[in-house]
Chains A and B, each alone.
Chain A
Amino acid sequence: KAGVTQTPRYLIKTRGQQVTLSCSPISGHRSVSWYQQTPGQGLQFLFEYFSETQRNKGNFPGRFSGRQFSNSRSEMNVSTLELGDSALYLCASSDGGSHKETQYFGPGTRLLVL
């Protein structure tokens, strides 16, 4: 099976712009989660989508949003970018039916905000 893919891998934006990141989960997986990883804050959970519905949400401002399509692909959008949004954004997929499932991570999108 193909792994989790994320596009683009690298992105440079300026403050105030918006950005959309894409994640394609492993075939058959229904859950997609997004994380922000920074040296200072570590791995922070953004939100999770399961069968096109947001099932869980982390503690991030409304500038961060996401959606999931019927084929389980997911997008994450950040509006009005701030310097502090510079981070590695990781997507993870799982079947989503149990707490004990393994999450499979993509390689991430590294976002730099100037």
Chain B
Amino acid sequence: AQSVTQLGSHVSVSEGALVLLRCNYSSSVPPYLFWYVQYPNQGLQLLLKYTTGATLVKGINGFEAEFKKSETSFHLTKPSAHMSDAAEYFCAVAGGSYIPTFGRGTSLIVHP
């Protein structure tokens, strides 16, 4: 069985501030972890993923995430938020099934 919890349905930051979106997972097997972004009226787009190897994963648009097995976490960060980062972000886990399990999503709001 696998599951994902995204803490905070909405996160609000100022432009230029640090972005931190939290994701905790549960998996009965070594997990594969993903972050996707969804802009309004669009499908989901992969930001980054962890499969094996280095636990700090760098993705597109300056985002990165760190896999922490002891904390069962895969938090997404970006040093400096940009207005264009405003979107819905989804964390997902796979491993026990070919089908990833998605979290409920976190809406990132960026204030000027």
Q: Using CB atoms and an 8 Å cutoff, list the residues of chain A in contact with chain B.
A: 4, 31, 33, 42-43, 45, 48, 50, 55-56, 90, 92, 96, 99-100, 102-108, 110
* B68 CB, nearest partner CB in chain A, Å: 18
A106 to B104, CA, bound (A): 19
Q: How many residues of B contact A (CB 8 A)?
A: 24
Q: Please encode chain B, from 81 to 97, with 1 for each CB lying within 8 Å of some chain A CB and 0 for all others.
A: 00000000010001111
A36 to B109, CA, bound (A): 24
For window 54-112 of B, CB contacts with A under 8 Å fall at: 90, 94-105
Instruction: Establish whether residues A107 and B104, one from each chain, have CB atoms under 8 Å apart when the complex forms.
Output: no
Residues on the A chain within 8 Å of B101, using CB: 45
Is chain B's interface secondary structure helix, strand, loop, or mixed overall? loop
Instruction: Establish whether residues A43 and B90, one from each chain, have CB atoms under 8 Å apart when the complex forms.
Output: yes
Does B28 belong to the interface (CB within 8 Å)? no
* A55 CB, nearest partner CB in chain B, Å: 7
Instruction: Establish whether residues B43 and A99, one from each chain, have CB atoms under 8 Å apart when the complex forms.
Output: no
Smallest Cβ-Cβ distance to B102: which chain A residue: A43
Contact A99/B95 with A4-B43, A90-B44 known, Cβ cut-off 8 Å: yes
